Amino acid sequence: MDFLLGAINPIAFSLGPLEVHWYGVIIALAIFVAIFLSMREGKQRGIEGDHIVDMTLWALPIAFIGARLYYVVFELEYYLQNPGEIIAIWNGGIAIYGGLIAGGLTVYIYTKKKEIPLALLLDVLAPSVLLAQSIGRWGNFMNQEAHGGPVSRQFLENLYLPNVIIEQMNINGTYYQPTFLYESLWSLLGFCVLIILRNRKKLLRQGEVALSYVLWYSTGRFFIEGMRTDSLWIGDLIRVSQALSLVLVIGVIIIWYLRRQDYPPNPYYLEGNQNLEPSK
């Protein structure tokens, strides 16, 4: 098959003049999976599925805008010279942290308007979002982006990777470290860990599943980002994502400690929505 002999065509199929990119197909799949799983879990915790859908309709486009603006701001010189490229998200160039910030603010506003417990909703969403990030990284794979520095083919073979991944990491005759894969696997493992912890009785209080998500993802992103060659930088000092990861890890530890000092304590996650009976 052709994809075993060289790089994969980033275009999945064409509809007349419209070209549908694998990047978009994979991101759409990731979003669908996240919504489906969140609706299932929300039902068990007393949050109506309609709220998940309505919130997504608001948060998703705003998150994409935030993710793109975050990337554009840190590459402003290039985009000022190439303004037509600003909307070309099918070529990559969206920053997860930007999307999480914009989407998170949207969720906050939505929960306030609908009087839904913010911490509980974030806990419902967190593992599903992490799984979506794991899936979404394969869009980077299709675009041959979000990779690390040059390595030998032998290095990739020693990782026991299938040939399709090895060949996709061959860019203009040079093999690169598959950091997209490292982050995808880290996120997938995190999804499994959060699901296990979330379902343990008398363990995590509401809000702590989301805090665990931030702690897990930020820790992995800090180390993986250090391997990448396409990082956004703050001057020549530190990569943007590494700096933000450090801030988030420290912030989560402080917030977690302070929340545990509150009395009366926050309800446990499995107790669900205290204002509504869980759906049957």
Average per-residue pLDDT for the chain = 91
- What percentage of the chain has pLDDT greater than the value 70? 95
User: Among 62-66, 81-85, 211-215, 266-270, which is the least confidently predicted range?
Assistant: 81-85
pLDDT reading at 56 higher than 70:
yes
pLDDT reading at 25 higher than 70:
yes
Residues 6+ apart with CB under 8 A from 79: 72, 85, 86
Of 214, 202, 213, 197, whose CA–CA distance to 267 is shortest?
Answer: 202
pLDDT reading at 271 higher than 60:
yes
Residue with the larger pLDDT of the pair 4 and 18? 18
pLDDT at position 123 is 97
pLDDT at position 92 is 65
pLDDT reading at 279 higher than 50:
no
Maximal CA-CA distance, the chain: 62
pLDDT reading at 141 higher than 80:
yes
Q: What pLDDT digit, counting tens, does each position of 93-114 carry?
A: 788 999 999 999 999 999 999 9
Beta bridge partners of 234: 238
Q: What pLDDT digit, counting tens, does each position of 215-255 carry?
A: 999 999 999 999 999 888 888 889 999 999 999 999 999 99
pLDDT, mean of residues 47-51: 93
pLDDT reading at 278 higher than 70:
no
**Is-contact 3 164, C-beta < 8 A?**
yes
Two tokens at 166? 């090895």
pLDDT at position 280 is 41
pLDDT at position 90 is 66
pLDDT, mean of residues 101-128: 95
pLDDT at position 32 is 96
Q: pLDDT-derived band of residue 15, with 50, 70 and 90 as boundaries?
A: confident
pLDDT reading at 83 higher than 90:
no
Two tokens at 237? 């000092």
Residues 6+ apart with CB under 8 A from 263: none
